[in-house]
Amino acid sequence: MIARQYLDGTGPFPGRLPYSGLMWRFLWDYHQAILRWAIWAHAEVQAWPADLSQPDATTAFARIVAAASSPPAGP
């Protein structure tokens, strides 16, 4: 509703529109990052064995750190 007001030229603080655009993009990207993480975490946990004392935690941790060390590129 608020975004629509600004798009229609009736937003309450038109001088703040550039800042609002920056914040909108930040919040959108932030929520997309949380969604990507939640999907990844769900798949990660689903792959865990029933007995968590069995897997090699160091190897799993190294795999996660290696993947995080080379994140996908792009805006």
Per-residue pLDDT of the chain (75 residues; tens, 9 = 90+): 888 998 898 988 889 989 999 999 999 999 999 999 999 999 989 988 888 877 678 888 898 899 888 766 766
Q: Among candidates 31, 9, 28, which has minimal Cα distance to 17?
A: 9
Tokens at 42, concatenated: 């769900």
Q: Contact, 55 vs 49, CB < 8 A?
A: yes
Q: Domain ranges for the chain, please list them.
A: 2-69
Per-position DSSP letters for the chain, written without gaps between them: -HHHHHHTT--S-GGGHHHHHHHHHHHHHHHHHHHHHHHHHHHHHHTS-SSTTSS-HHHHHHHHHHHHHSPPP--
- The pTM assigned to this predicted structure is 0.68
